[in-house]
Amino acid sequence: MVRVDKELDARRILCPLPVIRAQDAIAGMQAGERLRVVATDPGVKNDIPAWCRINGHRVESIIEENDEITITIEVDGLGTAPSSQH
């Protein structure tokens, strides 16, 4: 099983709150650490990966089981959108 550094319980709350709480959790984490989000709102399957793409984090897995969605995110470390410098 993959090492997880922090877990966020986002069960029984609706989007955008799971994304906001994931953002807050990741703000205190280091590059390479992993956050596991457990949620019940099916919107997280799209919202969290979209937020991760914008902010440079990587979704390692999305697992659905027993009406729960578990998303594991690898933290980029920057916590900001990739720069568009040329």
Catalytic residue ranges: 15
* Closest C-alpha to 40, from 66, 60, 22: 66
Separation between Cα atoms, residue 31 and residue 14, nearest integer Å: 27
- Give me the residue label for tokens 């410098």: 85
Identify residue 18 by its one-letter amino acid code. P
